[in-house]
Amino acid sequence: MNRLQIIAIGVLHFLLIAAAQIFIFNNIRFLGYINPMIYVWFILMLPYKTPYWALLLLSFAMGLCIDVFTFGQGFHTATLTFIGFLRPFILKFYTGNRDITVWQRPTSSDMGFMQFTFYITILIFIHHLLFFTLDILRFTELIPFIIRLILSSVTTIIVIIICDLLFMKHKKD
C-alpha cells in the first residue's frame, strides 16, 4: 500500500510540475530571455529511496515531455537524463549513515536549508551548463553565455527554493 501511495504521489507531482513548467514558467521571461526551468525539481525531490531505474526512466520521460511541448530538439531529454544519473552520487554525501524511510525526500526541512541549497545548486548548475552548451554555445560568445548561464541558474534555484518552502514544509514524515 505504501508503495502504491508513493507512486500515486509521484504521478501527481509529474503532472503538476510538467504543467507548471509548460503553462506558467515557459511564459515567464525575465529580462527578455531568462526562463526558469523548474521541471528539474521533479527529479531533485524524488524520495531518497527511488530505485535507479525509476530515476532514469522518470528523468527521460520528464525531459521528453518538456521537449515535446517546446518543439525542442531533445536537449531537455539529454540533460535531464544525465541529472537523473548523477543524483544518487551527489545524495550519497548527504545521507551517509542516516536511517531513511521510504517517505523521506531531499527537501529543505529534511536536509536543512543550507545543505538543501547546496545540493540543488550543484545539480541545477550542471543541468543549465549542459543545456546551454547544447542549445546556444555554438552561436554566442563566451561572456554572454556565462552571464546567461549564471542568471538562469540563479533564477531557477530561487524559484525551486520558494516552491520547496511553500509546498514541502509539512512533508517531513
Partner 1 sequence: MKELARFISRFYYIFLFLALEGLAIALIVNNSYYQSSAIGNLFNSIAAGIYDKQASVTQYFDLHEENALLVKENAALRAMLPASKFAIVDDSTSIVDTIYMQQYSYTSAQIISRTLGKRNNYFMINKGSKQGVKSDMGVICPSGLVGVILRTTNNFALIMPVLHQDSKRSVKNKRTQATGTLVWAGGSYEKGQVIDYPSSLPLKKGDTIISSGFSSNIPEGIVVGYVESYELDAATGFYVINIRFSSNYNKIKDVYVIKDLFSKEKQKLMKGMGNE
Closest distance of CB 73 from partner 1, Å: 4
Q: Is residue 136 part of the contact set for partner 1 (CB under 8 A)?
A: yes
Do you know the residue count of the chain?
173
Closest distance of CB 56 from partner 1, Å: 5
Q: Cell digits for 64?
A: 521528453
Q: Is residue 56 part of the contact set for partner 1 (CB under 8 A)?
A: yes
Measured from the CB atom, the residue of 42 and 82 that comes closer to partner 1 is 82
33 close to 77: Cβ distance less than 8 angstroms: no
Contacts of 65 (CB under 8 A, 6+ apart): 18
Tell me the site size for partner 1, rule CB under 8 A.
39
102 close to 49: Cβ distance less than 8 angstroms: yes
Burial class (CB in 10 A: 0-12, 13-18, 19+), 79: buried
Contact window for partner 1 (CB under 8 A) among 95-103, 119-127, 131-139, 162-170: 131-139
Using CB under 8 A as the binding rule, the residues of this chain from 16 to 45 that contact partner 1 are 23, 26, 29, 31-35
